[in-house]
Amino acid sequence: TLLAEEEPGNVEVRVELGNNFYDMGRYDVSARWYQEALDLNPEQARVSTDLGTSLLFLGKTREAITQYRHS
């Protein structure tokens, strides 16, 4: 997360962090990083889908559906 602090506008760093935390089953943290990536560049269908899946695993079904529709 230090790299994310050093590069606040770097979308790729945020996506990679999201992916790493997703792979560890830390969906709350992955959702945060995916959301930060989408805040910087909302036109990323894959990231939006990954955020939706993270939200679904967190039991946030309505938010997940919103992300899937955005994708």
- DSSP annotation of 71 reads -
C-alpha 47/C-alpha 33 separation (Å) is 10
pLDDT of residue 19: 98
The pair phi, psi for residue 37, each rounded to 5°, is -65, -40
pTM above 0.85, yes or no: yes
Task: Give the chain's largest Cα–Cα span.
Answer: 33
The rounded distance, in Å, linking the Cα atoms of 61 and 50 is 13
5-38: pLDDT as tens digits: 888 899 999 999 999 999 999 999 999 999 999 9
Task: Give pLDDT, residue 6.
Answer: 86
d(CA 62, CA 48): 14
